[in-house]
Amino acid sequence: MLTCGIVGLPLAGKTTLFSLLTGQHTPEGRQSATAMANVPDPRLDTLTAMYKPRRTVYGQIQVTDIAGLSQGSGKSAVFLDAIRPVDTLIHVIRAFTGDFPHPLGSIDPMRDFDIVNHELLLADLALVETRLERAEKSNKGPGKAQRPVLEKCLAHLLEEKPMSLLDLTGEERELLQGLVFFTAKPQLVAVNIDEEDLGAEPPWLQRIAAAARDKGWPLLTLSVRIEQEISQLGPEEQKSFMEELNIAEPGTALLAREAYSLLGLQTFFTTGQDEVRAWAIKKGGTALDAARTIHSDMARGFIRADVISYADLAALGSEAAVKEKGLARLVGKDYIVQDGDILRIRFNV
């Protein structure tokens, strides 16, 4: 399963954010903890109101809380080992003041942003340099073929650019297969701010936003302390509290959806009186992939899939109205599922 890793320096709010996203707590002394997080989706809420099912199931992502990057012998290696298996990073940066001091003695979001990303860049540089040394000793086979692309990677990293921005051909990617580049992982920058900074764009935030934009990374701001308060309120109280703060929805909901997108996922729905459910599927996935996501038997006995779009259903108000307008479709196994499709799989086993 695809996984998001929450990273950053100690005392940035990572573990609290992990708890807010997943409802789970990281045990003391553990280097990491993993749990599932719901991905809020207003479309699913609308479908629930339409169908009034016995239960509603949200799409989910897997989230790992990774211990903060600390100074000291061997700490970097532990940090990098924990990041290695995750697919995308949620980089939490401390920009809030508080009763507990910053481990580096001062609040400096740009410095913290650079520290973590510099560590990832150095790890990638070390990997490329080691592989290049081996390749230079080899006059034949894979090593020789790898040399040009490794030199290309080295030049790119020496310019302090993440591997995610390096344009590689399909053949070059094949030559690098098996190498884990930390800076190739998609990154979502989450700046943990004070309540009074909500909705503001101070100069330091503009600098981080520009740096993230240059690297192709999305950025959002949220106050984890405020998010905690919101999570402890009932629906009506939440609405009133967020209106006071001029917040349209909890920042954790925005963050979960952004992370979901960074993982390359999109949503299709299944509906009925028993259950309305959001399912995650990789972008570009087919109707057969969707059937397999629901149940292997559906994929094995796949015949056709009935498809209507959420947008059409929401606009017209009922499946009958969608069909009357000729907007319902019957598709085969190779149909490329679109975000927001509502599917009903026809199968026989």
Predicted pLDDT at 29: 63
One fold for 3-40+58-105+184-262 and 284-347: no
User: Is 13 strand, coil or helix?
Assistant: coil
Assign domain 3-40+58-105+184-262 to its CATH architecture: 3-Layer(aba) Sandwich (3.40)
Predicted pLDDT at 32: 80
- State pLDDT tens for residues 308-328: 999 999 999 999 999 999 999
Q: What is the DSSP string of 114-154?
A: HHHHHHHHHHHHHHHHHHHHHHHH-SSHHHHHHHHHHHHHH
For the beta sheet containing 3-7, the strands, ordered from the edge strand earlier in sequence to the opposite edge, are: 32-39, 59-66, 3-7, 88-94, 187-192, 219-222
Assign domain 120-182 to its CATH architecture: Orthogonal Bundle (1.10)
Residues in the chain predicted with pLDDT less than 70, given as ranges, are 28-31, 71-74, 139-142
- State pLDDT tens for residues 103-126: 999 999 999 999 999 999 999 999
User: Is 79 strand, coil or helix?
Assistant: helix
Q: How far is CA 301 from CA 279, 295, 332, 337, in A?
A: 20, 10, 12, 18
Domain ranges of the chain: 3-40+58-105+184-262, 120-182, 284-347
User: Which of the 8 DSSP states describes residue 140?
Assistant: S
Within 8 A by CB and 6+ apart from 114, the residues are none
Cα 90 from Cα 92, distance rounded (Å): 6
Predicted pLDDT at 284: 97
Predicted pLDDT at 74: 59
Predicted pLDDT at 99: 79
Class of domain 284-347 (CATH, top level): alpha beta
Residues written for the chain: 349
Predicted pLDDT at 343: 98
Predicted pLDDT at 72: 57
In sequence order, the β-bridge partners of residue 269 are 278, 342
